[in-house]
Amino acid sequence: MDLRKDDLARDLDAALQTRKELGKEYEAEIVDSFLARLDARLDARVEQRVAERLGSPGTPQRRPGNPQFKVQVLSLVMGIPLSAIAAESSGLLGLIVCWAGIVGINVSSARSGRSRERNRGGWE
């Protein structure tokens, strides 16, 4: 298992244990704290990938006209209200399921975009 996945699993487990200890009164704060840590990790990964893409010549660039880019932006925009709804109705589990779906959509979009690029000969 990847070290980042171990850290994420530990953070999630800590959030769940904290929720058990403190009770439902502090659920919103616990979820916010976990999401802040997750957001920081995602920001770091995005920055790393952008740096890799900008640093490697010959790599296709993400452009606003790209359908993949549209899916990514739309998923981030829709992720905010969906997170609020999921957290309010189902708590932490609903929030995790919500973001798992958003990640699944983005992974699927990325894979289909890569296969289109390979079929066009854009990837070496």
Determine the Cα–Cα distance for residues 28 and 32; give it in Å rounded to an integer: 6
Checking if the pLDDT of 1 tops 50, the result is no
State the chain's maximal CA–CA distance in angstroms: 55
- Shared-domain flag, residues 22 and 73: no
Could you report the per-residue pLDDT of 28-51, keeping only the tens digit for each? 888 888 888 888 888 888 888 888
- Shared-domain flag, residues 75 and 111: yes
Residue type, 80: I
- Shared-domain flag, residues 17 and 73: no
Range of the domain at 28: 1-59
- Shared-domain flag, residues 45 and 78: no
Number of domains in the chain: 2
Could you report the per-residue pLDDT of 82-105, keeping only the tens digit for each? 889 988 988 899 999 999 999 998
- Shared-domain flag, residues 45 and 74: no
In this prediction the pTM is 0.41
Least confident of 3-17, 24-38, 71-85, 96-110: 3-17
Token pair in block for residue 12: 């999630």
